[in-house]
Amino acid sequence: MATSLISLIAVFTIVRAQDFGYEGIKGPSHWGEQYNSCFGKFQSPIDINSLTVKHAKLPPLIFNDSNVPISKTVMKNNGHTVMVSIDSDQRPTIFGGPLSGTYEFAQLHFHWGENDTMGSEDFIDGHSFPMELHMVFYKKQYRNVRSAMENSDGLTVLAFFFHLDDEDNKNYIEITELLPNVSEPETSTTFTRLKSLKDLILNDLNEYYTYHGSLTTPPCSEVVTWIDFKRSIPLSHAQIEVFRTIQDNEGHHLTHNFRPIQPLGDRDVYLITTLDGDDGLFGKDDARIDEPPQNLDHINSEYKQSTLTESTTYKTINNGDNNGLDDHPIPEQRQNDIETTTTSHRRPFHRPKGSDANYIAQANLCIFISFCSILRALSFKI
Ligand SMILES: [Zn+2]
């Protein structure tokens, strides 16, 4: 009985979470009246100040969508945005960077504005972009999105900004052609020509801002590791304009669907660049490297252990399988679907030749530096 009641409440909450908008009494300033988290201290979006962010170096973010059947990729108008999901057991995964563990793709969607001067959710230095893509992943160990949302590290969102370009972006032609098929809420359509979700994002995942924040729609859960890429994706005015033609739940054109900026509070935002083989554990530019976020030491350590204990062949997409992610080591083997896997297992992945030696050398260097520090503390002259 109690379980049924909890389930009913959960379903009710999810249904209610669909009942929001971007104007009037359903607008962002009223979300907190029904969803307490929307008044929280770790809300998104934020305005990222590039002059005050901390700098750190981390292992690469590894995005894998090999063997994902694009024919099962569906785009739906949910009344708030257009959302792309994959109706298959095989979905992209991501790990590395600031993430502890593997995250599995849930969906991607877009935010845009009434005109090309606005539309993105996060800002950079007070600047908004005409559109923003959110690629949402949940931590696999939590088994599904709903359970993941009960944990502070449950979700990660890869955020990509768009900038205006005179030319159409060829990789977005199918999306803009399909948008009229989903002009009404609760309609969906299937991709037939898109080759890979990677075609919709950047090739270079090596430089990004990261911070802890929330969902930007109700219930505003503060469970998101945000990863905002510094480079933006080109898109033409005509292509963005098509997004503004879809209808919301009220039957109006969905001309804008971005939440206003929220206070940063005392949160740190990090600008991350990827460690390369010569950088050492904390980078070679010591003058501009800040202390990593609290959990990053742990992540570096975990990454180091992974690279030391797993032995597989290194492969990049450039090595005969160039789908666009230059120089990124990618996983070669897929995990089983999270819904059918009861025991987690570490996924083998590939790394540059010689990385074992590099990380062993880094570990030895760290031990040596720590030893020297202890000697100094004990006032020994060395
Ligand atoms: Zn979003």
Task: Enumerate helices (H) and strands (E) in the chain, giving the number of each.
Answer: 7, 15
Tokens of 80: 């708030």
Only one residue has tokens 């948008």, namely 179
User: Does 84 map to a domain?
Assistant: yes
Which domain, by its residues, includes 82? 15-278
User: Does 66 map to a domain?
Assistant: yes
Distance 9 CA to ligand 1 centre (A): 24
80 catalytic? Reply is yes
User: Does 284 map to a domain?
Assistant: no
Ramachandran quadrant class, 335 (left: phi over 0; alpha: psi -120 to 50; beta: rest): beta
Distance 110 CA to ligand 1 centre (A): 6
Residues whose CB falls within 8 Å of the CB of residue 38, separated by 6 or more in sequence, listed in order: 28, 31, 32, 218, 219, 220
User: Does 264 map to a domain?
Assistant: yes
Distance 134 CA to ligand 1 centre (A): 5
User: Does 355 map to a domain?
Assistant: no
User: Does 369 map to a domain?
Assistant: no
Distance CA 214, CA 206 (A): 23
pTM recorded for the entire structure: 0.73
The residue ranking higher by pLDDT, 313 or 178, is 178
User: Does 142 map to a domain?
Assistant: yes
Distance CA 69, CA 89 (A): 9
Contact 204, 195 (CB under 8 A): no
Distance CA 129, CA 135 (A): 17
pLDDT at 95 > cutoff 90: yes
Say how many domains are in the chain: 1
Distance 80 CA to ligand 1 centre (A): 10
* Band of pLDDT at residue 290, cut at 50, 70 and 90: low
pLDDT at 240 > cutoff 70: yes
- 168-183 confidence digits (pLDDT tens): 999 999 999 999 999 9
Q: Other CB atoms closer than 10 Å to residue 106's CB: what's the count?
A: 18
pLDDT value of residue 275? 86
Contact 74, 190 (CB under 8 A): yes
User: Does 222 map to a domain?
Assistant: yes
pLDDT at 45 > cutoff 90: yes
Instruction: State the catalytic residue, choosing from 55, 80, 163, 345.
Output: 80
Local structure of residue 292 (DSSP, 8 states)? P
Distance 124 CA to ligand 1 centre (A): 16
Local structure of residue 320 (DSSP, 8 states)? T
Looking from the CA of 241 toward its CB, the CA atoms found within 13 Å total: 5
The residue ranking higher by pLDDT, 339 or 105, is 105
pLDDT value of residue 292? 52
pLDDT at 47 > cutoff 80: yes
Looking up residue 240, the CATH number of its domain turns out to be 3.10.200.10
Distance CA 328, CA 351 (A): 9
pLDDT at 297 > cutoff 50: no
Q: Once rounded to an integer, what is the mean pLDDT over residues 192-214? A: 94
pLDDT at 370 > cutoff 60: no
Distance CA 307, CA 352 (A): 10
Distance 257 CA to ligand 1 centre (A): 9
